[in-house]
Amino acid sequence: MPVVLPPAPQPGDLITADLINRIADAARDLDIRLESLTRRVALLEQGGGKLIPQLVPLDEGKYKLFVEKLRTDRKILDEPDTNKRLELAADLWLKERNDIVLDAGIKRTNELTEGEWVLMGTIAAVKPSEVATALAVTRPTSAQAIRVQFDKIAPDLDAFANLSTGFIGIRP
């Protein structure tokens, strides 16, 4: 909605307090809108307008319960070796993924997809850009597939990953 300024006084008209108040209100409204627009542009410049690609279609509620189970009950973060943390997360994920994943094609496979490995990395407090490196020794094929799929967008994925909570692109 555009800011409506009062009509300019005509020659010979009196400049009244009412006219000055309407001009002040219009200027205040314009300042508020300009400040809001400036905040929105700053947010977009910082990457706030980017959307994370959907790694795996999930039931978010069940995924949150899975993350809590791994981090609190299984104490996955107590393991110092990142590769072991990833493997522990993957083992439990394979047992419970049919309830969490919504994609029937993913459910039919016995191996984790590249997107699932990135999710497991975030749960295990491993940056998405470092998941392939952590898996390179024990699962070189999976590591290479992750690099091919996500190497170009890894910095963006890192920005969306919250390693302290274990969520990526999902609000806890």
pLDDT tens digits, one per residue of 104-126: 888 888 889 999 999 999 999 99
pLDDT tens profile 19-55: 888 888 888 988 988 888 887 777 666 665 556 667 8
* Confidence at residue 162, expressed as pLDDT on a 0 to 100 scale: 86
* Confidence at residue 85, expressed as pLDDT on a 0 to 100 scale: 92
Give yes or no: residues 42 and 70 share one domain. Answer: no
Residue 54 belongs to a domain: no
Residue 2 belongs to a domain: yes
The pTM of the full predicted model, rounded to 2 decimals, is 0.68
Average pLDDT in the chain: 85
**Domain hosting residue 126, numbered range:** 60-168
Residue 25 belongs to a domain: yes
Give yes or no: residues 43 and 78 share one domain. Answer: no
The count of domains in the chain is 2
Helix, strand or coil for residue 8?
A: coil
* Confidence at residue 171, expressed as pLDDT on a 0 to 100 scale: 47
Helix, strand or coil for residue 86?
A: helix
